[in-house]
Amino acid sequence: MTPRLWAGGALIVLLVALIGFAAVAVPWHRAPAPRADQLAALGQFPADQVARSRAFHAELRPLSYAGMLLGLLIALALGLTPLGARLVELAGRPFGDHWLARAVLGGLAVVFVAELVTLPLAIWRHTIVVRYGISTQTWGGWAVDLLKSFGVGAVLGGVVLAAFFTVTHFAPRWWWAFGAAGAAGLVVLLSFVLPVVVEPSFNRFTPMADGPLRSELLALAERDGVPVKDVLVADASRRTRAVNAYVSGLGPTRRIVVYDTMLTEATPGEVVSVTAHELGHAKDNDVLTGTIMGALGSALAVIVLYLLGSWTGLLRLAGVESIAEPRAIALLLAVTTVAGLVAGPAQSFVSRRVEARADSHALELTGDPATFEAMQRRLGTVNLADPDPPSWEHAMFASHPSTVQRMAAARAWAQGAR
């Protein structure tokens, strides 16, 4: 069999594995609460608060869509014309046009151009979130975080680019197999590494002081059968007023993290409620599920890129001879950008079902739907979430059920528990 036939077979096997795993691991049956119950929940919000939240999102919405459109246009302009290949050549020229220099520096140059073009939109967005009181960051702090993000992205991107094009260089016929295995392995590795290496670059974490709340959170995790290493407080207040808590890490790295803003804005019972939701993700192995699906999806993407390499019309547009050469980096970016936009709604749909299951877990674990509902109102109010966003937009982009959907689900659970 030729490498292309092997790749086609591997593609089918991985696709079946992804669909089969998703069918078993994702709670597909968790539909939103009835619309009438959602409207009743919406009535619990003051009209001025709803108006302020919707005004906030009305200002952000054009930026979000403009950013998506501009990012797509830049990716297509660089990837479907010889511009991207030329940019890669220029980046590698000071190093004798070595293939590795083209791969790393050329790839970073292509990404940097896209980031630079969309930077004004990011600046505009920051002015809005500051004006509405969501962000507490100065421009200096915002710029430092932006540079940190660029730095982390450059390091990770450089390693991935170097590894990918090393494989394509030394295994030109079978790079898809090594690349698929490497991409899947990288997703798994990052699931362990990011929480303990990257997160501290953006926040300072300190152990929560001994007291009733810390004891209650640890007891909650123990009762749930979810071992955690520690309870930490993140200094989120230096950049935002938003409240949140989460369970981070896998296995021995797992810890409960609470924003310091939540400790000042929410009641202890509400902190327990949102932590119970996050423990639900750990209890149901949602991080592991996401990691496995991400690994399978990444491996599939590499094989699809390999199979696209025979599309001569696409290569001709990009001005390259092979999709496996460094000069084709912009073409790879264009393909992955389009694929990301197409797959986004499906990923959001899966995420909403998973989050709904974690909500149910929190209700079962605490047995306190009133506090759960109060926490949702708190999250919506402080974070300026639109409690009832446009249905089409919610279906396309939302990773969580809406605030009114979550409140209505809590009421439905309370009715069933009586």
Parts of the chain with a pLDDT under 70: 1, 196, 250-252, 417-418
Strands 231-234 and 255-259: parallel
Dist CA 200 CA 266 (whole Å): 24
Coil, helix or strand for 245? strand
Q: What's residue 203's pLDDT?
A: 82
Coil, helix or strand for 239? coil
Q: What is the DSSP string of 372-391?
A: HHHHHHHHHHHTT--SS--H
pLDDT in tens, 7-20: 999 999 999 999 99
Dist CA 234 CA 255 (whole Å): 12
Dist CA 163 CA 160 (whole Å): 5
| CB contact set of 86 (below 8 Å; sequence gap of 6+) | 319
In 153-254, DSSP assigns E strands to 205-207, 231-234, 245-248
Percent of the chain with pLDDT over 70: 98
CA distances from residue 414 to 36, 92, 378, 387 in whole angstroms, order as listed: 16, 63, 19, 21
Residue 256 is encoded by which pair of tokens? 């409960």
Domain boundaries, the chain: 3-202+285-417
Q: What's the whole-number average pLDDT of the chain?
A: 91
Dist CA 238 CA 234 (whole Å): 10
Region class of 81: left (phi > 0), else alpha (psi between -120 and 50), else beta: beta
**Residue reference for tokens 């407080």:** 233
pLDDT in tens, 350-380: 999 999 999 999 999 999 999 999 999 988 8
Q: What's residue 252's pLDDT?
A: 67
Residue 179 is encoded by which pair of tokens? 């690349």
Residue 187 is encoded by which pair of tokens? 């997703």
Dist CA 105 CA 158 (whole Å): 8
pLDDT in tens, 87-107: 999 999 999 989 999 999 999
- Amino acid type, 132: Y
Q: What's residue 23's pLDDT?
A: 93
In 168-229, DSSP assigns E strands to 205-207
| CB contact set of 272 (below 8 Å; sequence gap of 6+) | 213, 216, 217, 220, 366, 371
Q: What's residue 418's pLDDT?
A: 47
Q: What's residue 19's pLDDT?
A: 94
CA distances from residue 302 to 72, 128, 235, 299, 308 in whole angstroms, order as listed: 20, 38, 38, 5, 10
Region class of 26: left (phi > 0), else alpha (psi between -120 and 50), else beta: beta
Residue 394 is encoded by which pair of tokens? 């919610």
Dist CA 79 CA 315 (whole Å): 10
Dist CA 374 CA 266 (whole Å): 9
Reference 340, options 146, 84, 72; nearest CA is: 72
Strand ranges of the sheet holding 205-207, from the earlier edge strand across to the other edge: 205-207, 231-234, 255-259, 245-248
* 240 in Cβ contact with 262 (< 8 Å): no
